Structure 1
Amino acid sequence: MGALQSGDRSSFPDPVYRETVLRPLFDGARHHHAGALGRIDRAHLVMLVETGILDRAQGAAIARALIAMAREIDPAALAYGGDVEDYFFHMERELKRRAGADIGGRLHTARSRNDIDHTFLKLGLLPRIDALLADARDLLAVLIEVATRDRDTLIVAYTHGQPAQPTTHGHYLAAMIEVLIRDMERIEAARAIVDLCPLGAAAITTSGFPVDRHRTAELLGFSGPLQNSYSCIAAVDYVTSTYDAVALMFLHLGRPIQDFLFWSSFEVGQLYLPNAFVQISSIMPQKRNPVPFEHLRHLAGQTVGRARAVVDLLHNTPFTDMTDSEAETQEMGYQAFEVGHRVLALLAATLSAGRIDPERVAVNLDRSCATITELADRLVREEGLPFRLAHEIAAEVARAVVASGGSLSDSGYPAFAEAFARHVGRPPVADREAFRGMVSPEAFVAVRERFGGPGPAALGAALAGYRGALRAFAGRAAAIGERQASAAATLERRMHEIAEGL
């Protein structure tokens, strides 16, 4: 397509402006926001009739035209002709054609495209938030299920990329669960801001007509109206709050995804994925590539980037109604939700299918001396040593085992007995068998029954709390769904009553 040429500068719109701005906006509105705009028209009409701003005859004519338009016009089939500014004016022109210019033009009483725009943008954002939260609840349920299944399954916990201490897979996943719960709560908090209706603010200052803003909010399924009318058209924190919360969720998910990729490497081998989740090299048939984690890392990063881009677009914009926060910015943000759904679904499936390899875990724990902290602790509790002395003895044992290439449980006792006698001046009470118990990873975990620890009772209590949080998320979502369904039914009923002159 060749470069567009500007036309007559005395008439609107210039062809370049039409093709670069108006047509994309029209197409975006008919694709993403047509249904919401129709609901806004209906709710506003019901309110105008119920408050007496329009009489019943006027309301009936408009209602019949709107009902017919919804039945007969497919927004997806519409083509932008350049003869109106945008989708809103196209539909208003159609309403005037059907109901008459005098009657059809009355629907716009006491409203502006300013409050209409932010209302349909919020109506477009709410179901996307709800769908993302539904997928997050599914992931949370899987995490709780796998953490419960693997509450006693040992893993190596790493710090600074090195083996650190034993814990359980369930305990590790519980940390993920807590972050996910907080992320979901952040998204719910953002949703509560989105769930306040701007309609009735008109251009800036509301209206001289006796509009009922609570009624339109109720009919559209919002929790209530956003109070300050300037805020309705200027304070787009509903956008920044939402996309900040989305970005944080997927940034946080990306961190354990990186761990899972590391765990599933050949050298570590702590996490095994079944064949359905691995790809074989085209030239190296021995390779089992854990590609879901690579895709998850990449897609989670995409989600963060897309969400952050929306927030960054609003940096240093004026505190007023402005195009920067509107349709094209919002539609770009919708891509973050689309990619985010893929991450949540794939992560849930992959974690459910994966299994910890206990043999590799046992070898890595033993050879890395990952239980040596508990040896020092036991020397304090059972041999009566000060912790710093116990720590020094334990460190010497670990160095000797690593230098010999042996394992702590099998070859650590001679180094322990020698270091203990040299530092303390007597042989240890613990014999070889007792020493093996001291450095056992099972004992390491079992004794850590402190609040938040991996011990069976502590982790069991935590998992019970997470199940309660999941039920609470589901309960709040159900209540929102019931409110929205009731609002939709009421709006549909009142529209037909008004159309029939009741």
Structure 2
Amino acid sequence: MSVTDPRATDDTRFPDPVYRDTVLAPLFDGARTHHVDGFRRIDRAHLVMLAETGIVERETAAAIAGALEAIDREVDPSQLTYTGEVEDWFFLVEAELKKRVGPDTGGWLHTGRSRNDIDHTLFKMSLKAHLDRLMEQARAVLAALIGTARRESGTIIVAYTHGQPAQPTTLGHYLGAAIEVLIRDIERLEAARATCDLCSMGAAAITTTGFPIDRARVAQLLGFAAPQRNSYSCIAAVDYTTGAYSAVELLFLHLGRLIQDFQVWSSFEVGQLYVPNAFVQISSIMPQKRNPVPIEHMRHLASQTMGRARTMKDIMHNTPFTDMNDSEGESQSAGYEAFASGGRVLDLLAAFVAAMRIDPAKVDRNIRRSCITITELADTVVRREGLSFRQAHEIAAATARAVVAEESDLPSGYAAFAAAFEHATGRAPGMDESAFREAASSEHFIAVRDRFGGPAPEPMEEALHAYDAALDGFTQRAEAAAAREADSAAELDTTFRALTEAR
């Protein structure tokens, strides 16, 4: 009985229709949607380098350059339907190239490179563009936060801890805290972009090549800061992906907390945040309702963005430390959705923050009901009456209990304070009612908190200057990176055009 080698009778042709439809077609569609321009730039930069180093003769390079131009003119990616005749976009371009200049001439373009280094370079180029747009939108939010913090630097609000009224502060001081987190988040995005800004081209499959390629030249023509040093790292270290999406995830995790506060503050029971009518929808059945639903949309879109970014990190978990499909086409395309939803949040948040207002009557009502200036009363007793903080704290607590029981407010509670003071010390307080009222006022509470980082005018003004400087730094670095990449694009266009004109 003979055993037949199954390969001898396997007459099926690649690709299997199911594999074509479930894997290759989506990959092809992702490439033509997101990466056509990247492929085009990589082909041109690599060809220029091959000609400049003498690896490819100038005449051959000129013929290839002319064919690449013709492909750009004649092949419309949006009109293509994947048939399986070629494996992917790379092989489509190669087939078109060979059709125009012949297989021998066309085959020179792939000298010293691989789809491995091409792919990771493509993904870095795309991630840089997405990060640049997201950071531009984040800077707009930062500018809106700084503007509103400056405008409302003296506007008193209730600050909450554990969901309960805690102390008075200003909206400017509260927003300053959010500003500082956002500054750190943008710094994380900048750091992630710096990792993406190292070019993988020249790594080839894994170990570079025996051809005398110029990796730095290709990196420069493609607008990268430099080539990535280790060639194995170029195709295996996907930390450019995990780093980018980690930074995106943290950005929207942190903004989600701010957005949730806006939701609570705009509730009827709290009411300290007034949402302008432009951001309010009316109930279809309850005419009295003002629904600030943009806040809800910001919250759920921030959560969606965070989830999409986290998914990208989860995909990379426990994958082998090598080039692998897990980090490539379909995963990268899925990750871009995080930038799409995140951008919507940032645009809406920037507009919302610029328009938001505080309702001073609601704030005053809540301060009076909650006795939240009591901490400063205790502090003032220490300073003016010479008592320990613990004893002063007990007097203040007794005063607050009496005021709450009487359904009064703290500035009106001098009698209760005097009684608690005499009970604790055996003497009358030196503070008269006028001094007591001042110590119990929100304005005094904020004015005396003039330490570094506090809400008083002097530290707030210093902080706002620091925030302006941070925003200016982000803007200048973004403009410098954009100018460098524009110069690289112009040089690539000039050097490539010189090849085409050499025919």
Q: TM-score, normalised by structure 1?
A: 0.97
Residue in 1 that maps onto 2:422: 421
Residue in 1 that maps onto 2:173: 171
Q: Distance in 2 between the 1:402 and 1:299 partners?
A: 41
Q: Distance in 2 between the 1:351 and 1:130 partners?
A: 22
CA displacement 1:233-252 (0-9 Å, x = unmatched)? 00000000000000000000
Name the SS of the counterpart of 1:222 in structure 2. Answer: coil
Residue in 2 that maps onto 1:436: 437
Q: Distance in 1 between the 2:144 and 2:150 partners?
A: 10
- 1:251 lines up with 2:285 in the alignment: no
Deviation for aligned residue 1:305: 0.3
Deviation for aligned residue 1:48: 0.3
CA displacement 1:439-473 (0-9 Å, x = unmatched)? 11001001111111101000110000000000000
Amino acid of the structure 1 residue aligned with 2:352:
T
Residue in 2 that maps onto 1:83: 85
Amino acid of the structure 1 residue aligned with 2:374:
I
Residue in 1 that maps onto 2:14: 12
Which sits farther off after the overlay, 39-48 or 62-71?
A: 62-71
Residue in 1 that maps onto 2:398: 396
Q: Distance in 2 between the 1:187 and 1:92 partners?
A: 36
> How do residues 218-297 of structure 1 correspond to structure 2 at under 5 angstroms?
218-297=220-299
Deviation for aligned residue 1:72: 2.3
Amino acid of the structure 2 residue aligned with 1:252:
H
Amino acid of the structure 2 residue aligned with 1:462:
A
Residue in 2 that maps onto 1:310: 312
> How do residues 403-482 of structure 1 correspond to structure 2 at under 5 angstroms?
403-410=405-412, 412-482=413-483
Residue in 2 that maps onto 1:370: 372
Amino acid of the structure 2 residue aligned with 1:99:
V
Deviation for aligned residue 1:77: 1.2
Q: Distance in 1 between the 2:462 and 2:76 partners?
A: 54
Q: Distance in 2 between the 1:120 and 1:487 partners?
A: 16
> How do residues 34-433 of structure 1 correspond to structure 2 at under 5 angstroms?
34-410=36-412, 412-433=413-434
Residue in 1 that maps onto 2:6: none
CA displacement 1:167-220 (0-9 Å, x = unmatched)? 000000000000000000001000000000000000000000000000000000
Amino acid of the structure 1 residue aligned with 2:340:
E
Residue in 2 that maps onto 1:501: 502
Amino acid of the structure 1 residue aligned with 2:484:
R
In structure 2, stretches of 5+ residues that fail to align are 1-9
CA displacement 1:361-404 (0-9 Å, x = unmatched)? 11111210000000000011111110000000001111111122
Amino acid of the structure 1 residue aligned with 2:425:
V
Q: Distance in 2 between the 1:99 and 1:174 partners?
A: 62
Q: Distance in 2 between the 1:292 and 1:499 partners?
A: 53
Deviation for aligned residue 1:71: 2.2
Q: Distance in 2 between the 1:71 and 1:147 partners?
A: 51
Q: Distance in 2 between the 1:14 and 1:341 partners?
A: 39
Residue in 2 that maps onto 1:3: none
Deviation for aligned residue 1:86: 0.7
Q: Distance in 1 between the 2:437 and 2:126 partners?
A: 61
Deviation for aligned residue 1:11: 2.3
CA displacement 1:76-135 (0-9 Å, x = unmatched)? 111212111111101100011112111111100000000001011111111100000000
Q: Distance in 1 between the 2:283 and 2:359 partners?
A: 23
Residue in 2 that maps onto 1:5: none
Aligned length: 495
Q: Distance in 2 between the 1:315 and 1:483 partners?
A: 34
Amino acid of the structure 1 residue aligned with 2:325:
T
Residue in 2 that maps onto 1:4: none
Name the SS of the counterpart of 2:229 in structure 1. Answer: coil
**Identity level (%):** 64
Q: Distance in 2 between the 1:168 and 1:99 partners?
A: 70
Name the SS of the counterpart of 1:29 in structure 2. Answer: helix
Q: Distance in 2 between the 1:179 and 1:97 partners?
A: 55
Q: Distance in 1 between the 2:169 and 2:54 partners?
A: 68
Which sits farther off after the overlay, 388-397 or 63-72?
A: 63-72
Q: Distance in 1 between the 2:405 and 2:286 partners?
A: 35
Q: Distance in 1 between the 2:492 and 2:385 partners?
A: 76
Q: Distance in 2 between the 1:74 and 1:443 partners?
A: 69
Deviation for aligned residue 1:9: 6.4
Q: Distance in 2 between the 1:222 and 1:79 partners?
A: 32
Name the SS of the counterpart of 2:451 in structure 1. Answer: coil
Residue in 1 that maps onto 2:34: 32
Q: TM-score, normalised by structure 2?
A: 0.97
Deviation for aligned residue 1:10: 3.5
Q: Distance in 2 between the 1:188 and 1:231 partners?
A: 21
Which sits farther off after the overlay, 137-146 or 344-353?
A: 344-353
Cα RMSD (Å): 1.1
Residue in 1 that maps onto 2:4: none
Q: 1:494 to 1:418 in 2, by over 3 A?
A: same
Name the SS of the counterpart of 2:281 in structure 1. Answer: coil
Deviation for aligned residue 1:311: 0.4
Q: Distance in 2 between the 1:390 and 1:323 partners?
A: 67
CA displacement 1:22-61 (0-9 Å, x = unmatched)? 1111111011101100100000000000000001001100
Deviation for aligned residue 1:65: 0.8
Name the SS of the counterpart of 2:13 in structure 1. Answer: coil
Q: 1:442 to 1:492 in 2, by over 3 A?
A: same
Q: Distance in 2 between the 1:457 and 1:275 partners?
A: 34
Amino acid of the structure 2 residue aligned with 1:26:
F
